[in-house]
Amino acid sequence: MSTAKKTKNIFIDGPITPERIATSIAHHQAKTDIGAHDIFLGQVRADTIEGKVVAAIDYSAHADMANAVMDAIREDTFTNYPITCMHVFHSLGTVKAGELCLFVFTSSAHRNTCMDATRYVVERIKKELPVFGKELFPDSTHVWKQNN
């Protein structure tokens, strides 16, 4: 019998809905050892680039590789922060300006722990996850997104 841990898939097609976020939060009501939650929501901005306004971002990824990287980030986070749980979702496909594309949710006994853990996870995702965003303009042109 294999004891290999299954890699979690963090990707969903299209934008992250408020219903998905509400469901994640609601599932934690029975966990009475939790005293705090922290949430980061990444939203597509209608940036102006070279005089054109971004209408959407088309996200693509090397999903297997990205999920493996996310597993390493998850393990490091649980090692470095005494959090109770963590959930991460990232969009693939087209997400319009104003819609959500990244959801990071951590829980712990105390607020500072989960707030620090959330920031750590988001920064690692932005630096390390092989996810690519093509910023789409209304005139059917695009540029590749650069994370700062």
Whether residue 114 lies inside any domain: the answer is yes
Which residue shows structure tokens 């594309």? 101
Whether residue 72 lies inside any domain: the answer is yes
pLDDT given at position 30: 81
Whether residue 58 lies inside any domain: the answer is yes
Joined tokens for residue 82: 């005494």
Query: Can you give the CATH number for the domain in which 129 is found?
Result: 3.90.1170.40
Structural domain boundaries enclosing 114: 32-144
Whether residue 19 lies inside any domain: the answer is no
Whether the pLDDT of residue 48 is over 80: the answer is yes
Whether residue 100 lies inside any domain: the answer is yes
Q: What is the mean pLDDT of residues 54-63?
A: 96
- What lies within 8 Å, CB to CB, of 94 at 6+ separation is 14, 56, 57, 58, 59, 136
Weakest mean pLDDT among 13-22, 28-37, 86-95, 99-108: 28-37
Whether residue 15 lies inside any domain: the answer is no
Whether residue 108 lies inside any domain: the answer is yes
Number of domains, the chain: 1
Whether residue 85 lies inside any domain: the answer is yes
> Whole-prediction pTM value?
0.92
Segment 80-102, tens digit of pLDDT: 999 999 999 999 999 999 999 99
Q: Which residue has the higher pLDDT, 33 or 117?
A: 117
User: Residue 64 to residues 54, 110, 128, 129: CA-CA distances in angstroms?
Assistant: 28, 33, 14, 11
